[in-house]
Amino acid sequence: MRWRRRAEGFDIVTRTESEQRDDEIARRRRHYLSIMVPCLVLVVFGFYAPAPTPLRVAALVVAAVLPPIAAIVGNAGSR
């Protein structure tokens, strides 16, 4: 078997606008979910965990603040 030497060159791939938009949407979705998942966990904890009432209420208060923050982060444009 003969080994061929590859020609020296660059393998440049330029992303199309739709691919860039899809990447941006996926990034925004990841950021949104990274805030909403803890929010949902806190809501479940607040309603179903056998914990002291002040702790459950505190969890629900924190969970009430997270959805607007998640919406702001999820809709933030690229800089």
Number of structural domains found in the chain: 1
Q: Is residue 27 part of a domain?
A: yes
- CB-CB contact of 32 with 69 (8 Å): no
pLDDT per position as a tens digit, 4-40: 766 677 778 888 999 999 999 999 999 999 999 999 9
pLDDT per position as a tens digit, 33-74: 999 999 999 999 999 999 999 999 999 999 999 999 999 888
Q: Kindly report the pTM of this predicted structure.
A: 0.72
- The parent domain of residue 29 ranges over 17-75
Q: What is the mean pLDDT of the chain?
A: 87
Q: Is residue 44 part of a domain?
A: yes
How far, in Å, CA of 30 to CA of 75, rounded? 12
Q: Is residue 41 part of a domain?
A: yes
Q: Is residue 4 part of a domain?
A: no
Q: Is residue 11 part of a domain?
A: no
pLDDT of res. 39? 94
5 DSSP 8-state letter = P
How far, in Å, CA of 73 to CA of 47, rounded? 26
